[in-house]
């Protein structure tokens, strides 16, 4: 069974997913990392050079490649479920887990690291906060279509154990 981690940018899909996959000895795929490796560019460079639409098309193609493994843990980009029919596709081809943080914690975290996020990099603190609010409002209803929601607290060890327990239950 494939598990797809969804959630907003910076929610721990990659970091927690990688730890859980290593601990449970299952293949781990991070769609953003695969895109960067195949393109030979970072996600911000891809956005800047080719635009968001191009990135979203490549992202959807990479997602479909996850079917090569029958059992894997897959971290998706924050916007991936919200484009094309990606959320529905993941729900058909695996189990989706929404990694949900309290909005205020997520917002504080992202404003602090916004320079590494293509959709926030050029914004000041106030603009970034507004953009995060807008994106959260539009993306949450899609994330909430996940089979499982895990409410994270920002405690890395506790969050890791919650995700690991959910994955063990699925497998």
- By the 10 Å C-beta count (0-12 exposed, 13-18 middle, 19+ buried), 10 is classed as buried
Which residues are bridge partners to 74 per DSSP? 4, 29
Question: How far apart, in whole angstroms, are the C-alpha atoms of residue 132 and residue 119?
Answer: 9
Q: In this predicted structure, what is the pLDDT of residue 3? A: 98
Residue 126: pLDDT band by 50, 70, 90 thresholds? confident
CA distances for 120 relative to 21, 77, 98, angstroms: 29, 15, 22
pLDDT in tens, 65-105: 999 999 999 999 999 999 999 999 999 999 999 999 988 88
Mean pLDDT across the chain, nearest whole number?
A: 93
Q: What is the pLDDT of residues 129-156, one digit of tens each?
A: 899 899 999 999 999 999 999 999 888 8
3-state secondary structure of 16: helix
Say how far apart CA 39 and CA 64 lie, in whole Å: 17
Domains of the chain: 2-170 (3.40.50.300)
Q: What pLDDT shows up at residue 122?
A: 85
pLDDT of residue 109: 82
Residue in the structure block whose two tokens are 């960067």: 36
Instruction: Give me 155's structure tokens.
Output: 């405690």
**Strand 95-100 and strand 28-30: pairing?**
unpaired
């Amino acid at each position: 069974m494939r598990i797809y981690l969804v959630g907003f940018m910076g929610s721990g899909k990659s970091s927690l997913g990688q730890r859980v996959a290593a601990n449970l000895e299952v293949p781990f795929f991070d769609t953003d990392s695969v895109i960067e490796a195949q393109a030979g560019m970072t996600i911000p460079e891809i956005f800047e050079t080719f635009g968001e639409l191009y990135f979203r098309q490549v992202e959807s193609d990479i997602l479909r490649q996850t079917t090569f493994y029958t059992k894997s843990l897959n971290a998706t980009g924050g916007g991936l479920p919200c484009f094309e029919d990606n959320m529905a596709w993941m729900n058909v081809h695996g189990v989706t887990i929404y990694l949900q943080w309290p909005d205020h914690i997520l917002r504080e975290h992202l404003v602090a690291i916004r320079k590494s996020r293509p959709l926030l990099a050029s914004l000041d603190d106030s603009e970034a906060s507004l953009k995060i609010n807008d994106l959260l409002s539009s993306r949450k209803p899609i994330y909430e279509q996940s089979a499982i929601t895990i409410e994270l607290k920002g405690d890395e060890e506790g969050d890791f154990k919650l995700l690991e327990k959910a994955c063990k239950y699925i497998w």
